[in-house]
Amino acid sequence: MWVHRRRGGPLGLLLLGGQIMNVGVYNIPPVTLTLIAAQVVIYIKLIEHVLQYFPSANAVCISTYLLYYHSQWKRLFLSPFYHADDMHLYFNMVSLLWKGMMLEKMFRSTYFAFLVAVFTVATGMVYVILSMLMDGLMDDHRYSTSCAIGFSGVLFAMKVLTTHYTPSGLHYAFGFIPVPSRWIYWVELILISMVYPNASFIGHLSGILVGLLYVHGPLKLMMDSILLPGPSRTQTTTYYYRQQYTPRTINVSFNNAQHSSDGQGMSEDEQIARATENSLRDTGQTSQSQTSQSRTSQSGLYPDLEELRQRRLNRYN
């Protein structure tokens, strides 16, 4: 979530398009792909009918003042899907891409859609409650009137789930700061607030708390009483990378509350980097094998010198 600011240019959209092409549209599960496409459409205002629901950031942003005191509850559903600028959209959608691919394949599409809907509402409700508490404790009305937008609160809730269902080990915040997996979302919460002043600390904290309510609290039991997640299964996923034009296939197994893959214990960025390295290594090995085979086949075109001498002896004898 971000405090409302000026919208930017098309760079984020171009980068997002490149990421989607690297993965391959057909490799993205349907609910994840639909969520990404919908938020892009909302950002670029592509469909006229959508504009009446998302006319501006001020019309959809969420705050305690607007929800609790003015009962504008529709903002709970609208604010997560509106983004401040192109880079805000890009970072959120890339994060959704990788988290969604894991969780949707694990839970199946129907339950994942249910999960996103519940997390969207729950994150907004926790945001309102926390803002109200901070307003009272700090005697600062800015907590109640601060208006936030963006999908990152829901993404932090998903981050708790992806960390929980990934084997424990070291993860890397921002790709280079080693952090034990159980602390990764807390460290990212602090670092993002330090690096991006416009980021909503309370919005991100709300997402973490909702995720913890799911993995350690009653939220999962309540949701599972309404709709059960899909059964465990083994999914073969093909990822595409810009460096190679051939697919890299990774076998990913899901067994209830366990997630195993080629990159066990690693964060999403590390898994992407590892898969890219494997792809490049495999290509190098293939190239060496082809070169060796080519040399062998070329040498087979001409007889050995010793063989020529033997043929001459046989001829005269």
Active-site residue, 152 included = yes
pTM attached to this predicted model: 0.71
- In the predicted model, what is the mean pLDDT of residues 194-214? 93
Catalytic residue among 4, 83, 88, 204: 204
pLDDT in tens, 128-152: 999 999 998 988 888 999 999 999 9
Q: Which of 146, 152, 181, 267 is catalytic?
A: 152
Residue 306 domain flag:
no
- 116-121 average pLDDT score: 97
Q: Is the residue at 241 inside a domain? A: no
Q: Is there a domain that residue 238 lies in?
A: no
pLDDT (0 to 100) of residue 243: 33
Instruction: Kindly state whether residue 200 falls inside one of the protein's structural domains.
Output: yes
Q: Is position 204 annotated as part of the catalytic site?
A: yes
Q: Provide the domain limits for residue 199.
A: 2-231
Is residue 115 over pLDDT 50? yes
Average pLDDT, the chain: 80
Q: What local confidence, expressed as pLDDT, does residue 8 receive?
A: 57
pLDDT digits (tens, 9 = 90+) for 48-72: 888 889 999 999 999 999 998 899 9
Q: Residue 297 pLDDT > 50, yes or no? A: no
Given pLDDT bands bounded at 50, 70 and 90, which one contains residue 192? very high
For residue 182, being part of any structural domain is answered with yes
Determine, yes or no, domain membership for 187: yes
Higher-confidence residue of 95 and 245: namely 95
Can you tell me the distance from the alpha carbon of 306 to that of 233, in angstroms, rounded to the nearest whole number?
60
pLDDT at 239 over 60: no
* In-domain check, residue 84: yes
Q: Which domain CATH number covers 90?
A: 1.20.1540.10
How many domains does the structure of the chain reveal? 1
β-pairing verdict for 233-239 and 258-260: unpaired
Say if 299 falls within a structural domain: no
Please state whether beta strands 258-260 and 148-149 pair in parallel, antiparallel, or not at all (unpaired).
unpaired
Residue 124 CA from chain centroid, whole number: 20
